[in-house]
Amino acid sequence: MSESGTPGASGPVGIVGYGAYVPWWRLQRSAIGAAHGGSAGKGTRSVASYNQDTTAMAVEAARNALRPLGDGARAVIGQVLFATTAPSYADKTNATTVHAALRLDRDAAAFDLNGAVRSGAGALALALGPAAAGTTSLVAVADQRTGLPNSADEREGGDAAAALLVGPDTPGRPLLAELIGRASVSEEFVDRWRVPGDARSRQWEERFGETRYGPLGAEAAKAALEAAGLGAEGVHTVVVAGPHARAVKQVGGKVSAGTVHGLADDLSATVGNAGAAQLALVLAAVLDAAEPGQVILALSLADGADAFVFRATDAIAAHQPSPSVAAQIAAGNADPGLPYLKFLSWTGQATVQPPNRPEPARVSASAAARNEEWKYGLVRDHEALAEASGTIVTFTVDRLAYSPSPPVVFAVVDFDEGGRMPVELTDVDAAAVAIGQRVAMTFRRLNQSDGIQNYFWKATPIR
């Protein structure tokens, strides 16, 4: 399937806003090698905190996408499409938690597209259809990628999220990147697979995947560029994403040949491969630096190939990402990074002695429903505090409270907009916390009991 991005009288559609989220924690690949008596390569991979899951990361990416557009952007969202290979819930919809945390209107639908890496590109493709009819969709994609200790997946994976606001061009909310062509091709073959409930992905012999993805990627890219009326020389930057590293490299080299800038940095040296979120994450990084008129070819290789051709508009020049992908990467704690044993504990690959305290009780579903605005949206007396920043006026380091990653740091925060709140701090070194430190709110998981994820808000240092 291929089509032009300008659907006749409906007008242009594309990306109205975008944002990304890269967790603060980093794991040095050298730490993996040192633990196993070998070499695991250079660079770092991003790691979601013990109190984060894909839903929490998707909320953060969506907040970053909406922040530059102002409060009115929430009101125009007609649906939320959430994609991940690692959902926190089956049966229950995860996208409704994203919907609640963002305080979206009740008539905005919320749907999951979970389980496959291709779901990330699929969510974007599905959002573009309603956009032609005037509906604005929030496409939120997040993933946590790991594997068995000392495996290639553990070393090369990464945890991250991205959000794309997809809709029509309007006077008050212009497109940042107009879709001018797209194409998809599908083919059934077994290259990478994972049985539900298994933490380990399996992969067929690598050369087989290369032989399948090479022609698929070339076909989709060619069809999308033909729909856009362009040749390779009309493309500025190419983004290629997929779980098969060798196929991505091979296809990327061929598709980017003859383009102005060539292949975009896939962030593998600093973030790793973020699975379903990889395409949108790298696209966000490219948009951060895009100039008006530049054309971006974004290609996903997963159970087929999906190609999108975007042209940056004049509006991109005035857009200020909040924050940029590069800024988030630079702010991570790469030195010294997360200890490898703690990484194994957080990802469930190592079982450590739990705190000698009773585990938290299951959160009450009825109480959570009655207090949805406060619990998920952090709304107090009709005042939204999720976007508020504040200052630590006092704090305590608690080494006795139950936590999967002790110690727990509690602080009293004075908000700039007024009001004071006791709150748990996260993504901090307990020894570095100080009175007067500036913090912002972040959506996290307090705990998990009986399979129920207990979400609320914590505070994190402004870096």
pLDDT value for 9 = 39
pLDDT tens, position by position, 368-385: 999 999 999 999 888 999
Structural domain boundaries in the chain:
10-190+204-331, 353-461
Does pLDDT of 440 surpass 70? yes
Residue 172 banded pLDDT, cuts 50, 70, 90: confident
Q: How many whole angstroms separate alpha carbon 118 and alpha carbon 108?
A: 24
Average pLDDT over residues 331-348: 95
pLDDT value for 8 = 36
Residue 62 banded pLDDT, cuts 50, 70, 90: very high
Average pLDDT over residues 75-97: 97
In DSSP terms, 143 is beta-bridged to 160
pLDDT tens, position by position, 289-312: 999 999 999 999 999 999 999 999
pLDDT value for 162 = 98
Average pLDDT over residues 431-441: 97
pLDDT value for 381 = 87
Question: 10-190+204-331 and 353-461 share one CATH topology?
Answer: no
Q: Which fold has domain 353-461?
A: OB fold (Dihydrolipoamide Acetyltransferase, E2P) (2.40.50)
pTM of the model as a whole: 0.96
pLDDT value for 123 = 98
Contact 21, 443 (CB under 8 A): no
Q: Is 168 exposed, middle or buried (CB count within 10 Å of its CB: 0-12, 13-18, 19+)?
A: buried
Task: Tell me how crowded residue 127 is: count the other CB atoms within 10 A of its CB.
Answer: 24
pLDDT tens, position by position, 93-133: 999 999 999 999 999 999 999 999 999 999 999 999 999 99
pLDDT tens, position by position, 198-225: 888 999 999 999 999 999 999 999 999 9
Name the average pLDDT for the chain.
Answer: 95
**Among 4-13, 185-194, 380-389, the least confident range:** 4-13
Residue 354 banded pLDDT, cuts 50, 70, 90: confident
pLDDT value for 299 = 98
CATH class of the domain comprising 10-190+204-331 = alpha beta
